[in-house]
């Protein structure tokens, strides 16, 4: 069965008409390009301080001292505590914690979406094959077709490129979020570990004082039987011992709960580390101070600030994408294939079928939807800029608060050390003089209570100073694990950038 082919003769357009048509298209494209808005960089809204108020009178570390020569020490700040178990717990948490694994999955998703956006810039090619059988009366007609189809959206106005920039900035923000999770997690493990060691030390202090008070109680009861003291003094000794004993269950509860928290942070069952953490160890201390960079350098280290800035870059790219969506869309398409009556003829004697298509589309009337979408993205950009400004302010506040707390707790620790030394001497003298009958029993009890309170406060203060170090290094942005290509520096000219502090 023969198929009829209709041939159409195309006459060339007159040259003046063709010239005017091409000129008109060029003018329209230029006008459209001129109408694309370039989003402004997000202003910070305030001036960054030159130095930290909490370090008044002390020079900040030079950038060469902190960046990058001392950067590894900041990333693995827990090594400064010289506690192998603490380092092991943090390493386990950074590997096995559920929050870290979730952030890693989110980063993989963001990078995959970036690859999807990048693919839209390039042509797409597909293949197809079909087989058909038609019957018209006694005549049967078979047809077999194979071919390739291609299409390409010509990104004249940068809509697809803007989408790629937005996806890339979102992926970088996700990487910074992962690093921020690592920062928070390392600090949380360290703070819980310090709380555990502090509770264990306070428990040992309470138990030692209880043993001393029980000896005093036994001595008082013997003296009561001998008629040397009254029942009032014996009751006072018993009350003092019971008050000290009442502190022990609360401290034991704190130890158990903190052990459970550390086990979960390390990605294990709550009781998995009970035996490991039951061995007594002193509260780890940090010798010296941390080298502080200038505030602007510190903000570059803060991963939450990085994430907020990348979100601003992503929002700015989405504004450009929404703006480009209002403009003409040009597409090229084509196909090339073979058609035959039998499968064997596809490789020998098949007809070549080819087509080429160029199209342009331009929204003429959409009831203001495209303009509304542009305004929505502009509002999202303003919102992201506000979040970025808030992140900077929070970062500055956390560093200043940590510096003030560290300075205050150090001063308090010094005073408590002096107080405990005096209370220890007073308790020893009171016990000796009571044995000699020079002071009453009430004096012994008062000096014992003062000694216990001073010793307990001293242990708490030592842990507070160590915790202040942890909070300071967290505020400085320490604790995330740098990896190749994870988060490019915001000073890199090729990285998404708005207003870098």
239-282 pLDDT tens trace: 999 999 999 999 999 999 999 999 999 999 999 999 999 999 99
| pLDDT score recorded for residue 109 | 93
H or E stretch covering 357: strand 351-361
What are the CB-based long-range contacts (under 8 Å, 24+) for 239-242?
240/213, 240/216, 240/445, 240/448, 240/449, 241/210, 241/213, 241/214, 241/216, 241/217
C-alpha separations of 345 from 3, 129, 338, 339 in Å: 17, 14, 9, 8
- Residue 267 burial by CB count (10 A; 0-12/13-18/19+): exposed, middle or buried? middle
| pLDDT score recorded for residue 347 | 66
Helices (H) and strands (E) in the chain, counts: 12, 4
| pLDDT score recorded for residue 265 | 95
335-350 pLDDT tens trace: 877 776 666 666 676 6
Domains identified in the chain and CATH numbers: 39-120+160-326+371-475 (1.20.1600.10)
216: closest CA among 205, 203, 229? 229
Rounded to 10°, the helix 369-435/303-324 angle is 170
Structure tokens at 455: 């010793």
Give the CA radius of gyration of the chain. Answer: 38
| pLDDT score recorded for residue 226 | 85
The β-bridge relationship of strands 329-340 and 351-361 is: antiparallel
C-alpha separations of 4 from 7, 198, 337, 354 in Å: 10, 94, 20, 18
| pLDDT score recorded for residue 24 | 44
The three-state secondary structure class of 208 is helix
H or E stretch covering 249: helix 231-265
| pLDDT score recorded for residue 206 | 95
| pLDDT score recorded for residue 27 | 41
Task: Give the C-alpha separation, 421 to 344, whole Å.
Answer: 102
Q: From first to last of the 501 residues of the chain, give the pLDDT tens digit.
A: 333 333 333 344 444 433 443 344 444 444 444 334 444 445 666 777 777 877 654 444 444 344 333 555 678 899 999 999 999 999 999 999 999 999 999 999 999 999 999 888 888 888 887 777 887 777 777 777 777 888 888 888 888 899 999 999 999 999 999 999 999 999 999 999 999 999 999 999 999 999 988 988 898 889 888 888 888 888 988 999 999 999 999 999 999 999 999 999 999 999 999 999 999 999 999 877 777 777 888 788 889 999 999 999 999 999 999 999 888 888 888 887 777 666 666 667 667 777 888 888 888 888 888 899 999 999 999 999 999 999 999 999 999 999 999 999 999 999 999 999 999 999 999 988 988 888 888 898 899 999 999 999 999 999 999 999 999 999 988 887 665 344 443 333 333 333 222
Task: Give the C-alpha separation, 233 to 239, whole Å.
Answer: 10
Task: Give the C-alpha separation, 257 to 264, whole Å.
Answer: 11
Handedness of CA 95, 100, 102, 107 (dihedral sign): negative
Model confidence, pTM: 0.80
| β-sheet bridge partners, residue 357 | 333
| pLDDT score recorded for residue 257 | 97
| pLDDT score recorded for residue 39 | 43
**CA 273 to centroid of chain Cα atoms:** 26
| pLDDT score recorded for residue 43 | 60
63: closest CA among 301, 287, 388? 301
Question: Checking phi first, is residue 267 left (phi over 0); if not, alpha (psi -120 to 50) or beta?
Answer: left
370 Cβ partners below 8 Å, 6+ apart?
Answer: 322, 325, 326, 363
Say how many C-beta atoms besides its own lie within 10 A of residue 119's C-beta. 11
Contact 193, 89 (CB under 8 A): yes
Structure tokens at 391: 């992140």
Q: How far apart are the first and last CA of the chain?
A: 77
Task: Give the C-alpha separation, 268 to 449, whole Å.
Answer: 40
The three-state secondary structure class of 10 is coil
501: closest CA among 126, 104, 45? 45
């Amino acid at each position: 069965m023969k198929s009829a082919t209709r041939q159409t003769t195309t006459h060339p357009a007159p040259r003046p008409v063709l010239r005017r048509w091409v000129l008109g298209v060029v003018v329209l494209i230029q006008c459209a390009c001129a109408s694309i808005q370039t989003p402004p960089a997000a202003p910070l809204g305030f001036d960054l301080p030159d130095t930290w108020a909490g370090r008044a009178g002390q020079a900040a570390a030079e950038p060469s001292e902190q960046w990058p020569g001392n950067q590894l020490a900041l990333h693995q700040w827990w090594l400064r505590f010289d506690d192998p178990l603490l380092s092991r717990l943090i390493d386990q948490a950074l590997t096995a914690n559920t929050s870290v694994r979730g952030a890693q999955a989110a980063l993989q998703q963001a990078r995959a979406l970036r690859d999807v956006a990048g693919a839209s810039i390039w042509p797409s090619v597909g293949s197809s094959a079909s087989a058909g059988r038609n019957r018209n009366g006694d005549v049967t007609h078979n047809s077999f077709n194979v071919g390739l189809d291609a299409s390409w959206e010509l990104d004249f106005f940068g809509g697809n490129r803007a989408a790629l920039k937005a996806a890339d900035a979102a992926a970088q923000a996700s990487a910074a979020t992962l690093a921020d999770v690592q920062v928070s997690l390392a600090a949380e493990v360290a703070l819980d570990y310090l709380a555990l060691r502090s509770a264990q030390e306070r428990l040992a202090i309470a138990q030692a004082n209880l043993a001393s008070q029980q000896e005093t109680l036994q001595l008082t009861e013997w003296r009561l039987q001998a008629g040397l003291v009254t029942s009032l003094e014996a009751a006072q000794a018993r009350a003092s011992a019971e008050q000290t004993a009442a502190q022990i269950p609360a401290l034991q509860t704190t130890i158990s709960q903190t052990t459970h928290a550390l086990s979960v942070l390390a990605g294990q069952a709550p009781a998995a580390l009970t035996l490991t953490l039951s061995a007594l160890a002193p509260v780890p201390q940090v010798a010296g101070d941390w080298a502080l960079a200038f505030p602007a350098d510190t903000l570059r280290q803060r991963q939450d600030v990085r994430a907020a800035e990348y979100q601003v870059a992503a929002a700015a790219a989405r504004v450009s994408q929404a703006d480009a969506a209002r403009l003409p869309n040009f597409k090229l398409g084509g196909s090339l294939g073979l058609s035959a009556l039998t499968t064997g003829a596809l490789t020998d004697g098949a007809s070549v079928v080819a087509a080429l298509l160029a199209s342009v589309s331009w929204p003429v009337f959409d009831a203001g939807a495209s303009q509304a979408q542009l305004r929505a993205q502009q509002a999202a950009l303003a919102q992201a800029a506000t979040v970025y400004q808030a992140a900077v302010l929070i970062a500055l506040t956390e560093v200043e608060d940590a510096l003030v707390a560290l300075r205050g707790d150090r001063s308090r620790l010094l005073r408590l050390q002096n107080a405990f030394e005096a209370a220890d001497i007073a308790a020893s003298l009171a016990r000796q003089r009571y044995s000699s009958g020079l002071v009453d029993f009430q004096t012994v009890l008062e000096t014992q209570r003062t000694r216990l309170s001073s010793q307990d406060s001293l242990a708490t203060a030592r842990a507070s100073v160590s915790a202040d170090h942890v909070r300071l290094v967290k505020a400085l942005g320490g604790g995330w694990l740098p990896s190749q290509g994870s988060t490019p520096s915001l000073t890199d000219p090729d990285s998404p950038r708005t207003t870098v502090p």
